[in-house]
Amino acid sequence: MRTRETPNSSELVTYAPFTLFPTPVPEAAFLQALAVQTHFNTLVDKISQDPHFLEEALASTIQADDFTAKLFDIYRHVQQEGRTQSIVVGLIRSDYMLDQGEGGTSSLKQIEINTISAGGFGVTDRLPEVHRHVLRSVGLLKESECVQDNNDRTAGMSAALAKAWELYGQQKAVILFLVEDVQISKLTHRCLEKELWNRNIPAIRRKFEEVSRRGSLDDDKKLFIDGLEVAVVYYRNGYMPEHYTEQAWDARLMMERSLAVKCPDISTHLAGTKKVQQVLAKPGVLEKFFPDQPQVVEQIRATFAGLYTLDMGPEGDRAVAMALANPDEFVLKPQREGGGNNYFGEDIVRVLQEVKSDKRRAAYILMDRIQPRTEQNIVLRRGLPLKLTSVCWEIGICGAYVRHEGELVLNEVAGHILRTKSIEQDDEGTVKGDFEFLWAVNVSPKRRQVEWKVVY
């Protein structure tokens, strides 16, 4: 990947951070996460088509959170104008950690679903090979066979984009990657672009600012930029308030109003908010989306941790009291993406003391804090000394789907990504704070009987 010092140069690059050894993940948890993914794809897609649900779920949030409110304004605008495009493509990622219960039990718990700019493909596709090599080189041959291949993500994601492009039906139209101003991860996007070009699908990269200056809609609401018709807009940017200027908001609105397929469209973006996640965990809500499929409901619900509203009212009051009494047992989450936004421990107390008496608290949700098991590993990260350190992991399952005229014509699991976080960077030595982006792609589900002993 590119470096922080020269973020827009491909001449000076460094390796993406990774762990020297793969971190083992229990087979049962891995298979459980894979098995539920197509249901999550379906669920996100159903939510995105349910204006009543989105209105109700986000009503209090948009009063308290400006960013969600601005996204919601675009949603309303598009709803009122009437949808123009019946093709939707979703590239999502559902993240999980393994919660250690009492007596050695553990259960897979969902951390969140990412519906916009979900990463986890590209340059890290080859990490399993690196890990196999490392294990062989220290004589751990049996263990090296446990490392799961993981090169299906880029192919799976590009297949969904390609399908949407095909359905759009214009040979010359392009897939537009809407990219950041500072493009540290451009090389990873290139892996996806290359897959598209291999299929003779032209892919271009533009920033909000370029779309704002040079993009336009024709009378049929087709989206054009630099003389090129856009079949699909793939957002790699636009999930944080900092990504937007006034012009960027206008450009987002123009793209959402257009005939181009959006990945994701504004309603799918909103379906990925933390507030929606919390509402889904309320009794009876999943049943509405899967009325005749109790097993699907059960499978999805089994992955939910405790999630609590902070809306004004008795239920929210109870959640506030609970969090203040035992802050170490919860995570306080605002409606933000991209890491580094959540509150833990004493910070929860500080924030809640400030907002607890008024509707500002509805900008957040409260979640049970997962207690993961820790492992030992060596993290390779530019500038960090090499040493054995305690780490914990979070696994993401990538899902890809395409809807066309009301039918899911593609609904697939597109691989996994395992991220490992050093937990020794915290003052208290506890699992606290957000994940560093330490990509470590490694799972050992095939041969779980192997005893995992890494010799350093």
Task: Decide whether 435 or 452 has the Cβ nearer to ligand ADP.
Answer: 435
CB of 227 to ligand ADP, least distance (A): 37
CB of 367 to ligand ADP, least distance (A): 4
CB of 392 to ligand ADP, least distance (A): 8
Please name the residues in contact with 323: beta carbons below 8 A apart, sequence gap of 6 or more: 330, 332, 348, 349, 352, 366
Q: Are 175 and 202 in contact (CB under 8 A)?
A: yes
CB of 184 to ligand ADP, least distance (A): 17
CB of 268 to ligand ADP, least distance (A): 15
Task: Decide whether 224 or 304 has the Cβ nearer to ligand ADP.
Answer: 304
Task: Decide whether 394 or 412 has the Cβ nearer to ligand ADP.
Answer: 394
CB of 168 to ligand ADP, least distance (A): 30
CB of 56 to ligand ADP, least distance (A): 22
Q: Are 442 and 131 in contact (CB under 8 A)?
A: yes
- Angle value at C-alpha 261, between 257 and 265, nearest 5 degrees: 65
CB of 425 to ligand ADP, least distance (A): 12
Phi/psi at 405 (nearest 5 deg)?
45, 50
SS (H, E, C) 300-367: HHCCCCCEEECCCCHHHHHHHHHHHHCHHHEEEEECCCCCCCCEECHHHHHHHHHHCCCHHHHHEEEE
Task: Decide whether 250 or 368 has the Cβ nearer to ligand ADP.
Answer: 368
CB of 67 to ligand ADP, least distance (A): 13
Task: Decide whether 230 or 305 has the Cβ nearer to ligand ADP.
Answer: 305
Task: Decide whether 55 or 368 has the Cβ nearer to ligand ADP.
Answer: 368
Task: Decide whether 262 or 419 has the Cβ nearer to ligand ADP.
Answer: 419
Q: Give CA torsion, residues 317, 318, 323, 329, to 10 deg.
A: -150
Summarize as ranges the residues that interact with ligand ADP (CB under 6 A): 95, 111-112, 305, 331, 333, 336-339, 341-342, 367-370, 394, 434-435
Phi/psi at 197 (nearest 5 deg)?
-60, -35
Q: Distance between CA atoms of 173 and 162, rounded to whole angstroms?
A: 12
The one-letter amino acid at 388: L
Task: Decide whether 250 or 434 has the Cβ nearer to ligand ADP.
Answer: 434
Task: Decide whether 153 or 336 has the Cβ nearer to ligand ADP.
Answer: 336
Task: Decide whether 39 or 93 has the Cβ nearer to ligand ADP.
Answer: 93
**Given phi > 0 = left and psi -120 to 50 = alpha, else beta, which region is 243?**
alpha
CB of 110 to ligand ADP, least distance (A): 9
